[in-house]
Amino acid sequence: MDAQHSKQAILRKRAEKLAKESPTIFNRFIGMQIVCFGLANEQYAIESKFVREICPLKNITPLPGAPSFVQGLINVRSQIISVIDLKILFEINTISTSSTYVIILEKNNMKFGIAADILLENKIVDPSGIQTTFPGLTDLKQAFFKGVFLDKMILLDGEKLLTDNRIVIDEQVE
Amino acid sequence: MKKKSEEEFTAKLLAIFKDEAKEHLEIISKGLISLESRPPIQQQDKLVDQLYRETHNLKGSAKAVGNENIHKICQSIENIFAAYKKEELVFTALIFNTIFAAVDHINLLVNSAEGNLDQALIDKLNQLSNTKNELLKKPEESSTTIVNESEKFTETAGSLRISTKKLDQLFQQVEELLHIKITAKQQAVNLQNTEELLKQWQKRTKILEKEANLFEKKISDSNKEIRESATPILNCFDQQNEIFQSLRKQINTLNINGLENIRQAYGMIDNLLLEMKKLLMQPIANLFDTLPRMTRDIARELNKDVFLEFHGGQIEADRRILDEMKNPLFHIIRNCIDHGVGTPEERSKDGKPAQGKISIVARQIKGNNVELVISDDGKGIDIDKIKQSAIEHHFLNKDEAANLNENEALNLIFFSGITTSPIATDISGRGLGLKIVAETVVKLNGSITVKSKWGVGTTFIITLPLSIATFHGIHIKAENQDFMVPISAVKKAMRILPDNIKTIEGRQTITYENLTIPYFSLSTVLQIPKIYSQEDLAKIVLIINATDTTVAFEIDCVLQEQELIIKNLGNQLKRIKNFMAATILEEGKVVLIIDPTDLIHSALKIPSVLTHPISNIALMRNQDKKRTILLVEDSITTRTLLKNVLEASGYEVKTAINGFEGFSILQESSIRLLVTDIEMPILNGLELAKKVRSLKQYSKLPIVIISTRGSQRDIEQGIEVGANAYINKSNFEISSFVQLINQLLEKDEGND
């Protein structure tokens, strides 16, 4: 009986310690949690709060007749998710590279995946170190880029991607 | 923390109030309309009681959520009903109109949280309830009885309110079970195949057993060494055989039990789905709810007096079907009021009662279907006007129009652009509404027809299923990609030889049930790049029918027919042409479901063809006549382009490089149409046209001038020399050019 009590006491202490520790990491600065990935030979990032999950890109069904930036449809646990190819949307000129992962974005009622060539890392960054102006970009890039990090990694505007009508396909026949 | 939960609670409360208010308002509207039609006096009293109660309840709920504005209006309305009950007032048109306005105002306030209270309206209401208008004799019992079954405001004991969202979610989960059903079936087949393999193995084993016995006998006389070395082999064989036998037994049991389980699961899943579907059923009366109010408003706006009656509101149908039918039904009623029922003056001139009547009768018919019959006692549909409109829209030519029987002509109103109204109004007359109605009905697996008698009235008959059947699709492949086609749209899958594909008017066609129908490759229509094609082999063809048009599509192969669960494509793909949704196969693969209506639209839109089926059939009647066009043009680029375009549309083309050469070719061969440029050496296009027209035999030859010059003066010159059309090269568009040529030739043949 006593042994069990002391065991529980130890566990509680540990739990308390863990619960205290994590905020200190975040408190150093107002951290922004991001997911970094590669497209062709460029590096991109998106805030984790828009990322619902990441899964390998396989068994994609192409969508004939759709705009070319819609790469196709995948099945994620019995739900159909459309996958967008940012390389085509942003006209990233390169010899075609193939994507291996889908980063599924979600906010409110909008949900779709973006294809990533490679996954780099998840990390917490200091948002004050982001450069937010970038002259000489195409309209679409201008609209969906939130900033550039010093290491040239581009931060995408998740909010904008998930709300902009240019991403939504609503075709009428006739 | 506490504050947050309070906020949440308030929000929840407001949402409940909104739903409740809507219900009250609907009942109040319905009651008012019944009251306005002056039913017998006892019924009037009962209605006012009901109205009073509903208003009072609404007032109480408004107070509970702190909505002072609605509370105030309800109080004022309540006063009017109270005054009636005290026999201090009778209802006048003014009172009805004011109460209706007040109901609208409450509706507005319910929907927008910060709506402003219309004080003038309150004042008016109060004034009405205070003016004790003279106690007129209450109207005598009216002879008309109202048949309005939806009027019964039944309150059921032991019922529970569940949000439709929750029900839908539940339904979706139940529907997912279909997936298990489909997978289980596949596994049963796999098990059976395994057993079959084992049976073959057993046959071999028996042969082996015999051989082993023979071998054992043979070596029994041999020396000991051989016998001993054979023993382990034979023992091993015996052991193997034992294991094999028990394996076979086990697989057999598995198979039998598995099949039994599947059979049970099948029954349970099907039953559960059926019961779930029943939960989603609602009385059709719900569909009628808002109609009386709308009828009243539109009739008033058009100075008409319309009485609306319902029968059969108690029949229950799937809520999803009723939801889809709401707008189509609105549209038909609007049409009836706008085009059908005349004004009281017009009606009395025709010897009809001043008040028009629209009736909606719902009737359950065989095969789990419901028939909605919507009829008015108005003017009827003017068939000549419909034909006229169809001709104007190039749906058919005069001869075809004359040949149509009454029924065929009437059903033209379901085509785009056809209207009998001389002018489009904000209510109707644009000729689009009924097309949308028909499309919705067909999408729901129903059908619609119209009957009309000039001077007597119009009747729309809509047949709809009562419940949505589990979706069945045909799994096909095109260019090696999988697709599902809704089985309801597939008439037949068949094999045809390339010889049976005929090119008519630049379009490939085949013959199906004595009809010439267009033939397309599915991959071309869906814009899938073609990888290979084998011209000489037999083709697999799917005959698809939607919105009364039948088209043949070439595919790779038909795999099977199966039940599917429809999955939407998500909000990023709100609507994508040619596909209605997708489904997921057993192995987890996403397969697109084709939208037959879209697909046929897309196919018929492919250039170099006329887009309307009626016209196509008309053209196909003339298929034997090979039509030659003379093309006179000095620029080689333009000449090649136009020649290709015309040939692709099925015409034979002769070319000349100047007017002089053109004129001699014209005289040598039988030319049906002349296309000419203007600026050319030796004899220019204008001179050529003039010369051609001067000869009697060419007085009717269609001439098309195509030129870079496009001023008004140039066009006038073209008309002067007798050209039928003048096309400016800078605005050149292939499809409209071909269409023009087709039309000119059609017209020309009409004159033959």
Q: Collect all residues of chain B within an 8 Å Cβ-Cβ radius of residue A80.
A: 567-570, 582, 584, 590
Around Cβ A90, how many Cβ atoms within 10 Å? 21
| Mean pLDDT to the nearest integer, B638-644 | 79
Nearest C-alpha in A relative to B583 = A80
Can you give the pLDDT at residue B422? 55
pLDDT tens digit string along A70-120? Answer: 999 999 888 899 999 998 888 876 666 778 899 999 998 899 999 999 999
Query: What pLDDT does residue B208 have?
Result: 86
Mean pLDDT for B727-746 is 76
To which residue do tokens 């539940």 refer? B170
Residue B137 has pLDDT above 50, yes or no: no
- The minimal CB distance from B588 to the residues A59, A110, A170 is found for A59
* CA pair distance A150, B370, nearest whole angstrom: 68
pLDDT for the residue A108? 86
Please give the share of chain B, as a percent, with pLDDT higher than 90.
8
Mean pLDDT of B425-448: 73
How close, in Å, is residue A2 to chain B by CA atoms?
38
Confidence of residue B338 (pLDDT cuts 50, 70, 90): confident
Q: How far is CA B147 from CA B15, B144, B256, B358, in A?
A: 34, 9, 59, 12
Distance (Å, whole) CA B292 – CA B29: 8
Crossing angle of the two packed helices B41-64 and B68-85, in degrees rounded to 10: 160
User: pLDDT tens-digit profile of B155-195?
Assistant: 445 677 788 788 888 888 888 888 888 788 888 888 888 88
Of B572, B575, B576, Cβ closest to residue A167: B572
- The Cα of B570 is separated from the nearest Cα of chain A by a number of Å equal to 7
Mean pLDDT confidence for B583-596: 89
SS (H, E, C) chain A: CHHHHHHHHHHHHHHHHHHHHHHHHHHCCCCEEEEEEEECCEEEEEEHHHEEEEEECCCCECCCCCCCCEEEEEEECCEEEEEECHHHHCCCCCCCCCCCEEEEEEECCEEEEEEECEEEEEEEECHHHCECCCCCCCHHHHHHEEEECCCCCEEECHHHHCCCCCCCEECCCC
- pLDDT for the residue A96: 64
Chain segment B247-260, per-residue pLDDT in tens: 889 988 988 888 88
Closest Cβ–Cβ partner in A59, A60, A169 for B572:
A169
Distance in angstroms (rounded) separating the CA atoms of residues A96 and A92: 10
Q: Which pLDDT belongs to residue B425?
A: 47
Would you state the pLDDT for residue B669? 79
What mean pLDDT comes out for the span B78-100? 83
* Residues of B within an 8 Å Cβ radius of A: 176, 179, 481-482, 526-528, 567-579, 582, 584, 588-592, 597-598, 601-602, 605
Instruction: Map residue B344 onto helix, strand or coil.
Output: helix
Most A CBs within 10 A among B482, B590, B597, hence the mutation to make, goes to: B590
Average pLDDT (B458-484) is: 89
Report the sign of the C-alpha dihedral through residues B630, B636, B639, B643, in that order. positive
Contact B134, B85 (CB under 8 A): no
Q: What percent of chain B has pLDDT over 70?
A: 88
Candidates B575, B584, B588; nearest CB to A170: B575
Contact B584 A80 (CB under 8 A): yes
Domain boundaries, chain A: 30-161
For residue B278, pLDDT over 90 is answered with no
- Overall residue count recorded for chain A in this entry: 174
User: Mean pLDDT over all residues of chain B?
Assistant: 80
Are B590 and A170 a contacting pair at CB < 8 A? no
Would the CATH topology of B472-607 be identical to that of B625-751?
no
* Share of chain B residues as helix, strand and coil, in percent rounded to the nearest 5: 55, 20, 30
Name every chain A residue with its beta carbon within 8 A of the beta carbon of B598.
173
Question: Is residue B142 predicted with pLDDT exceeding 50?
Answer: no
Least confident range of B143-152, B232-241, B491-500:
B143-152
Are A109 and B571 in contact (CB < 8 Å)? Answer: yes
The CATH superfamily of B308-465 is Histidine kinase-like ATPase, C-terminal domain (3.30.565.10)
Class of domain B625-751: alpha beta
B-chain CB neighbours of A103 within 8 Å are none
Is the pLDDT at B138 greater than 50, yes or no? no
B588/A75 touch (CB, cutoff 8 Å), yes or no:
yes
Please tell me the predicted confidence (pLDDT) of residue A1.
Answer: 55
- What is the distance in angstroms between the Cα of B348 and the nearest Cα belonging to chain A? 44
* Helix axes of B2-36 and B291-301: crossing angle, nearest 10 degrees: 60
Of A155-159, B102-106, B728-732, B737-741, the poorest mean pLDDT is in B728-732
In this predicted structure, the answer to whether residue B382 has a pLDDT above a threshold of 50 is: yes
B64 or A24, greater pLDDT: B64
CB contact (8 A) between residue B592 and residue A61: yes
Higher pLDDT, B520 or B164: B520
Task: Please name which of B380, B372, B373 lies closest in space to residue B356, comparing C-alpha atoms.
Answer: B380
Over the stretch A107-166, which tens digit does the pLDDT of each residue have?
Answer: 988 999 999 999 998 988 888 778 887 776 777 777 888 888 878 889 999 999 999 888
Residue B401 has pLDDT above 50, yes or no: yes
CA distance B577 to chain A (A): 6
Max mean pLDDT among B156-170, B221-235, B357-371 falls in B357-371
pLDDT value at position B3? Answer: 55
Is B346 in contact with B417 (CB distance < 8 Å)? Answer: no
CATH numeric code, B12-146: 1.20.120.160
Higher pLDDT, B471 or B359: B359
pLDDT tier at B148 (50, 70, 90 boundaries)? Answer: very low
Q: When comparing pLDDT for B418 and B388, which is higher?
A: B388
Query: Which of B118-132, B133-147, B164-178, B585-599 has maximum average pLDDT?
Result: B585-599
At residue B553, the pLDDT reads 94
Q: Which residues of B touch A111 (CB under 8 A)?
A: 570-572
User: Are B479 and B467 spatial neighbours (Cβ–Cβ below 8 Å)?
Assistant: no
Contacts of A61 in chain B (CB under 8 A): 481-482, 582, 589-592
Which phi and psi angles does A147 have, rounded to 5°? 180, 175
Contacts of B584 in chain A (CB under 8 A): 75, 78, 80
Enter the pTM of the model: 0.52
According to DSSP, the residues that pair with B514 across neighbouring strands are none
pLDDT at B747: 66
Q: Which residue of A has its CA nearest to B591?
A: A61
What does the pLDDT look like over B523-539, one tens digit per residue?
889 988 776 656 667 88
Question: What is the rounded distance in angstroms from the CA atom of residue B592 to the CA atom of residue B578?
Answer: 10
Closest residue in B to A70 (Cα) is B573
pLDDT single digits (tens) B17-37: 888 888 888 888 888 888 888
Q: Would you call B519 exposed, middle or buried from its count of C-beta atoms within 10 A (0-12, 13-18, 19+)? A: buried
The per-residue DSSP string of B205-253 comes to HHHHHHHHHHHHHHHTTS-HHHHHHHHHHHHHHHHHHHHHHHHHHHHHH
CA distance B248 to B201: 10
Element (H, E) at B551: strand B549-555
Q: What ranges do the domains of chain B cover?
A: 12-146, 167-279, 308-465, 472-607, 625-751
Distance CA B741, CA B630 (A): 12
Q: Could you tell me if the ipTM is greater than 0.95?
A: no
How far apart, in whole angstroms, are the C-alpha atoms of residue B252 and residue B255? Answer: 5
Cβ pair B569:A167 closer than 8 A: no
Chain center to CA of A3: 47
pLDDT at B76: 87
C-alpha distances (whole Å) from A34 to each of A50, A102, A120, B677 are 9, 15, 11, 65
Q: Is the pLDDT of residue B616 over 50?
A: no
Give the number of C-alpha atoms closer than 13 A to the C-alpha of residue B585, restricted to the C-beta side: 20
Residue B288 in contact with residue B313, Cβ under 8 Å?
yes
Pick the CATH number of B472-607 from 2.40.160.10, 1.10.1740.10, 2.40.50.180, 1.20.210.10: 2.40.50.180
Is the pLDDT score of B622 beyond 70? Answer: no
Question: What is the C-alpha separation between A168 and B517, in angstroms, rounded?
Answer: 36
Structure confidence at residue B462 (pLDDT): 93
Minimum CA–CA partner of B572 in chain A: A168
Written out in words, the top-level CATH class of the domain with range A30-161 is mainly beta
